[in-house]
Amino acid sequence: MLSMLRGFKVRNLAIVVMLLCLLPVTALAAPPEITADAAVLMDVESGQIYYARKHMRRADPASLTKIMTAVVALENGKPGDVVTVKGRAAAVSMGSIVDLRKGEKVTLDELLKAALICSANDSTVAIAEHVGGDHDRFVKMMNTKAAALGMLGTRFRNTNGYHDPNHYTTAYDLALLTKYALGLPRFNELVQTRETTMYWIEPTGREEKLRNSNRLLFDGYEGIDGVKTGTTPTAGNCLVASATQEGRRLIAVALHSDNRYTDCIRLLDYGFKVVKPVTVAGAGEKMAAVAVTGGVLPEVEAVAERELQVRIDPDEMPNLEKRVEVSETLPAPLKRGQKLGEAVCSLNGQELGRVSLVAGKDVPRAGWHRQLWDKVFN
């Protein structure tokens, strides 16, 4: 695959950048046509971005905020904790609610059900007051977690996503957050639950049927397994969706969309049907030649320690870049398999993968007469 590199000799420790002119390809499909103002498609395992539109621009997250609310609650509370509803939570009346009343008792897990499945705004306030001691302290915990996850374009001011000019995030940050959240087993379970029942401890016998607000869970898209809707007049219609096919899980984010469900389906289809694996280096493949001083050989092949495979839209192959990082010269002796440097593959500034480059063979140290010869005549 990288036959163009055969015989290529690196002269210094500079990063050598070259386009990977791979085999000619036929365009399979154009990037997905979507209506969302901002969007991103991310691979859950690798974190690779397959599609992005204004993904670093600040946006109102609406109820997608509740993803972080749930993360902080799950990591700082216990599902079986008994929560006594306080006045602030009971006073919430705007948007989706489960009509919590002051003095009622319900477990933290039941409140998380309401927050993630039917997007209940009052449940997030009850969660915050229990886990954080008070609402504002919990919001600080949310912002601390956002910083720890590298969500550099995010700032929270509340737990449910009510509009506030200082409450914002980005499509990329939401994908990053969701990638992390899906690693929490209870979160992962709740966001793919279609219907369930919420139960109160007090008053005894009170219960509420919950139906997931994410329509994709009911529409039969292959492998759909989450995540969360969000809607306010300012944010518009928003959706974070996830799906798994053939062992690959992808996250699609659509913000301020005219048709969030179609947008996310198109993004997911693009990731599953258009993005393909490409082998950019075979195990043992020569990537460069490095000069050797004081050895029985004048140079040694730098070969890939293992296969390096990445996933891209085949239309992007002409833009795929690889840089080889090795020293100008290396002193003998060198052992076969000894690390000499790295090859790094990237696309549009995003690193897709890297592989160690190792010596392809042993290069013993030359005798004194050979070393003298090299010093005199080279």
User: How far is Cα 85 from Cα 105, in angstroms, rounded to an integer?
Assistant: 6
User: How far is Cα 309 from Cα 311, in angstroms, rounded to an integer?
Assistant: 7
Which residue among 3, 93, 119, 276 is the active-site one? Answer: 119
119 catalytic residue (yes or no): yes
Which residue among 66, 113, 179, 322 is the active-site one? Answer: 66
Question: Closest Cα partner for 274 from 224, 310, 315?
Answer: 315
- 3-class DSSP string for 92-110: CCCCCCCCCCCCCEEEHHH
46 catalytic residue (yes or no): no
Q: Where are the beta strands (DSSP E) in 233-360?
A: 236-245, 248-257, 276-281, 286-293, 299-304, 308-312, 320-326, 329-331, 339-347, 350-359
- Sequence-distant (≥ 6) Cβ neighbours of residue 352 within 8 angstroms: 48, 310, 311, 312, 345, 346
Which residue among 3, 9, 46, 63 is the active-site one? Answer: 63
- Residue count of the chain, please give it: 378
346 catalytic residue (yes or no): no
> Taking the CB of residue 334, how many other CB atoms lie within 10 A of it?
22
Q: Which long-range contacts (CB under 8 A, 24 or more apart) does 242-247 make?
A: 242/44, 242/178, 242/182, 242/191, 243/268, 243/272, 245/272, 246/272
Q: Provide the annotated active-site residues.
A: 63, 66, 119
